[in-house]
Amino acid sequence: MAQQRITPEQIASYQEAFERDPQRRLAGNAVAKSPISAVALNRRVIAGTDHTFSIMLKSNPITNQNRSGRCWLFAGLNLFRVEAIKRLNVESFELSQNYLLFWDKLEKANYFLETVLSTLDEPSDGRLLMFLLQAPLQDGGQWDMFVNLVKKYGVVPKSVMPETESSASTGAMTGLMHALLRENAAELRHMHAGGAPAAALRDRKQAMIGNFYQMLCVHLGEPPRSFEWQWRDKDQAFQRAGTLTPQEFFERYVGFDLDSLVCLIHCPTADKPFDRLYTIQHLGNVAEGQIVRYLNVDMAVFKQAAVEMLKDGQPVWFGCDVGKMLERDLGILDMELFDYASVYGFSYRADKAERVEYGHSMMTHAMVFTGVDLDADDRPRKWRVENSWGDKIGDKGFLVMSDRWFDEYMYEVVVDKRFVPAALLPLLEADPTVLPPWDPMGALAAAE
């Protein structure tokens, strides 16, 4: 179809339509002095939103990922600390997000270079290589990637490996690692083009990983191989555990059965039929670790599994598109929160599938459900969300999500297999359909 220019006659008709519409002129005056979010804010939604829930788990002090994309690590460790608080018999407790960040960055550097070695004959200007080089190791990740780290490296208390400037603000460190990874990728490809044997490429890659280890020690500190652990519990009794490895600490004070938890997604696009297992090519962190696995299910199954987890007293790790229809300061996620139709004179009409297919929506953030408000018929009305943006937003850091927002912008929940319908359980053992690296369901791993 040939391109068509905007004509002066069209512009004149648009101008006339705007000038004869007093509501548009009023909206223009308001937006000239105030952010669109303030002008379109629906005060009725704010007045009708409260932070009470029929099912509500114990609140723990809110965490803060600061200027980093570690939401998935924070959300996972926020699950773990619930059990650690019970076993340690303390009022509050936090696990080291910096510790897992260190190993995630190192493993991702290795994973990327392994991917380079497996794609040596791909053209340098092809879509795959250009995609891989765009962001070799971002802060983000998926649940299965979190599991890989914990199984291999365990966990440690935050006091054992506290935050640093670079863990709280990862941009500079990640940018420098990106630059080095791209140089490394070019070197390995040049070696291959020059006829270097596979063994030489592997040896060179091993030396490259050593540079990343040194870099991470500079930025994040050296991760402990073992540590002395003692504490005073909430009854003021002194406790001493002696010397523990991170793996021993996990087994003794967290003890989650990671193999009992599975990822359900709800993605209603035509290329992903429900009741099938999916993975994403070249998405991972630990070489030879478990792959990312998603079971795509309809909304009724997806939502009920999350409700049953909360009824069972267990928080729920989830992935969503947090930036949509969010009032950050108030901590409200609601589809009616902004009345853009009254400001612009038209409504947005895309459904969930179309928003995903056309690039308007994808998973951008991981958080934890710690409550749900059920009506008299046991159906959700709203959800309580533990975030990792500090305690200055919402209800001391907790958000409230309407159930309609859940339907439209929720994409992933991690639940116990006990709450997955029995007929679907065999699908978890099937060979997954492999989606391309740029599929929107992998977007959470690209968070900055």
By annotation, the residues acting in catalysis are 71, 365, 387
3-state secondary structure of 397: coil
Instruction: Decide: residue 123, CB within 10 A, 0-12 exposed, 13-18 middle, 19+ buried.
Output: exposed
Report d(CA 99, CA 224) in Å as an integer. 9
Q: For residue 64, count other CB atoms closer than 10 A to its CB.
A: 18
Instruction: Decide: residue 190, CB within 10 A, 0-12 exposed, 13-18 middle, 19+ buried.
Output: exposed
Report d(CA 13, CA 315) in Å as an integer. 55
E strand spans, 321-378: 326-327, 332-333, 365-374
Residues 6+ apart with CB under 8 A from 53: 371, 372, 373, 382, 383, 384
Length of the chain: 448
| Helix 143-153 / helix 246-253 crossing angle, nearest 10 deg | 110
Residue among 280, 256, 270, 262 at smallest CA distance from 427: 262
* Region label for 157, one of left (φ > 0), alpha (ψ between -120 and 50) or beta (otherwise): beta
Report d(CA 385, CA 318) in Å as an integer. 10
Q: Which residues pair with 384 in a beta bridge?
A: 371, 400
